[in-house]
Amino acid sequence: MGLDDTLIQLRMSVKQLDKMAQKAQKQQQMEKARVKKAIENKDLETAKIYAENSIRKKNEYLNCLRLSSRVDAVSSKVKSAMAMQGVAKNIGSVTKALETAMSSLDLEKVQKIMEQFEKQFENLDVKSGVLENTMSSATTLSTPQADVDSLIKQVAEEHGLEVQSQVSDAPGTANLGSIGAKSDRTQEEEDSLTKQLFILFRNTMSTSLINKTRLIVPKLWQQSVRYRGKYNVRMPKPRHDIARYLEEITKPLIVKELPDPIETCIQSKLNIKKKLKFGPDSAGEFEIFLAKFAFETLEKSEVMLICHKLDISGEIVRRNKVEFKKFGTNMWNFNTVVMQLMMKNNPKYKNLEPIVSTGLGRNVYFFFKEEVLKENLKMMKKMPHFVLLGGMINHQLYTRSGIQRYSELGDLENVRGQLVGTLNTALSQIPNTLSTPISNLSQALSQHSKPEE
């Protein structure tokens, strides 16, 4: 077994001992808690036993810690031994490499190379100095000093006083005199220079102001039209850039007052109430016809279900109408005005008012026979966009839960037949039930009436 395997086993042993120590410590705490509970219950004998267990677990905890520390010390020694072994191998390889490097190093060759390098560097300095002197003399002869001075004067006049001050301080320009102090320029030249200086100043100021404010103000443009030899300016000239920027920056901000949300809601409700009319008094001729049709359909049908229709497409409504038609169910969409008018003309249906008024004209009415009630309810469960509100069965009003309970009942004919059979059976058993006690009584009396032998 190598040192690596030994080190791994020692580490595993240390971890196991640590776990055992932690487990013993937890058990010690549990035993202490039991001792406290036993003392509270005034059970001293049990408390002594728990105390002994706690002390034993404490000793076990300390022994595991000692053993773990000793094993850890052994593992550290093994680890240091492995490190020393590796260092010894590395030192051997480094020694061999140094030996090969020293054998290939020739000191005489290195010295000769360094001497040759120094000589070449000195020759390079001498040649570069001669080249600089030659170039400076050739440049001086090719450019006269008078031309240089006149060019400096011209540049100074174009760039203003700041450049003149810099030129006066520059070396080699002492003979230029005071540039700009006395000049032979005419008035037109002075005006052109002033104009150029103003344009330069304006461009500099406008650029810096745009960078600072980050405002891009729309600039008015003008269109010039040539007419009779003169320019006709259609639009006025724009104001100065700086003035427009300052005007935009200092423009007041007018904050609009927000309306009260409560008043807005009340006003919107009043507007809706004025526009929408949900009453029998506002019914038209077609709605009166629909009210009569709804009454006749309700009188002919055994069951009427009222459902609230959610937002769906017309194609889905058409498909559902075809599916209900298979069971002989008619689906009609009467608005609130029609149903209220029908209830007003027929007071016996006035109890439908709470259900009909729900939904603001989005209710759907199903008319069919009583025998297909269960099938229609099953189909409505598959259509979540129809929410059942209530209905009428045999001209009796039912809630949603009442309709569902009514559908769970069986066929009335079958129930009636079962009831009749049960009653007939009971009637046939009544004579036997009544005759049995009488016969028993007569037998008992006949036995008592016989004389004793």
Taking the domains of the chain in order of start, what are their residue ranges? Answer: 3-99, 194-256, 279-412
Residue at token pair 């309709």: 403
CA 360 to mean position of chain CA atoms: 36
Would you say the pTM of this structure is higher than 0.75?
A: no
**Nearest partner of 336 among 314, 317, 360, judged by Cα:** 360
Residue 24 one-letter amino acid: A
Out of 68-72, 129-133, 251-255, 354-358, least confident range: 129-133
Residue 279 one-letter amino acid: G
**Nearest partner of 68 among 108, 29, 17, 111, judged by Cα:** 17
More confident residue, 248 or 331: 331
Residue 334 CA to residue 289 CA, distance in Å, equals 11
What b-and-e string marks burial along 274-287, b requiring 16 or more CB atoms within 10 Å of the CB?
Answer: eeeeeebeebeeeb
Confidence (pLDDT) at 331: 92
* CA 314 vs CA 310, 325, 382: distances in Å: 12, 17, 18
What is the CATH code of the structural domain delimited by 279-412? 3.30.70.1730
Q: Is the pLDDT of residue 174 over 70?
A: no
Residue 259 CA to residue 68 CA, distance in Å, equals 78
Q: Which pair of tokens denotes residue 377?
A: 């309810």
- Percentage of the residues of the chain whose pLDDT score is greater than 70: 72
Residue 359 CA to residue 453 CA, distance in Å, equals 96
* Dihedral angle of Cα 117, 118, 122, 124, to the nearest 10 degrees: 20
- The C-alpha angle 296, 302, 303, rounded to 5 degrees, equals 100
Q: Is the pLDDT of residue 37 over 70?
A: yes
Residue 211 CA to residue 217 CA, distance in Å, equals 13
Out of 187-191, 322-326, 373-377, least confident range: 187-191
pLDDT tens string 75-103 = 888 888 888 877 777 787 777 777 776 77
On average, the pLDDT of the chain sits at 76
Cβ neighbours around 9 below 10 Å, total: 14
Residue 178 CA to residue 175 CA, distance in Å, equals 9
For residue 308, count CB atoms less than 10 angstroms from its CB and return exposed for 0-12, middle for 13-18, buried for 19 or more.
middle
Cβ atoms of residues 365 and 331 within 8 Å: yes
Confidence (pLDDT) at 422: 81
- Report the range out of 79-83, 229-233, 236-240, 301-305 with the highest average pLDDT: 301-305
Q: Is the pLDDT of residue 210 over 60?
A: no
More confident residue, 188 or 309: 309
Confidence (pLDDT) at 277: 57
Res. 199 pLDDT band, cuts 50 70 90: confident
Q: Is the pLDDT of residue 428 over 60?
A: yes
Residue 447 CA to residue 453 CA, distance in Å, equals 13
Residue at token pair 């443009």: 221
Res. 214 pLDDT band, cuts 50 70 90: very low
pLDDT tens string 310-321 = 888 889 999 999
Q: Which residues contact residue 234 at a Cβ distance below 8 angstroms, ignoring those fewer than 6 apart?
A: 222, 223, 224, 225
pLDDT tens string 41-72 = 888 888 888 888 888 888 888 888 888 888 88
pLDDT tens string 260-296 = 888 888 888 788 767 665 566 777 888 889 989 999 9
Q: What is the 3-state secondary structure (H, E, C) of the chain?
A: CCHHHHHHHHHHHHHHHHHHHHHHHHHHHHHHHHHHHHHHCCCHHHHHHHHHHHHHHHHHHHHHHHHHHHHHHHHHHHHHHHHHHHHHHHHHHHHHHHHHHHHHCCHHHHHHHHHHHHHHHHHHHHHHHHHHHHHHHHHHHHCCHHHHHHHHHHHHHHHCHHHHHHHHHCCCCHHHCCCCCCCCCCHHHHHHHHHHHHHHHHHHHHHHHHHHHCCCCCCCCCCEEEECCEEEECCCCCCCHHHHHHHHHCCCCCCCCCCCHHHHHHHHHHHHHHHCCCCHHHCCHHHHHHHHHHHHHHHHCCEEEEEEECCCCHHHHHHHHHHHHCCCCEEECCCHHHHHHHHHHCHHHHHHHHHHCCCCCCEEEEEECHHHHHHHHHHHHCCCCEEEEEEEECCEEEEHHHHHHHHHCCCHHHHHHHHHHHHHHHHHHHHHHHHHHHHHHHHHHHHHHCCCC
- Report the range out of 199-213, 279-293, 410-424 with the highest average pLDDT: 279-293
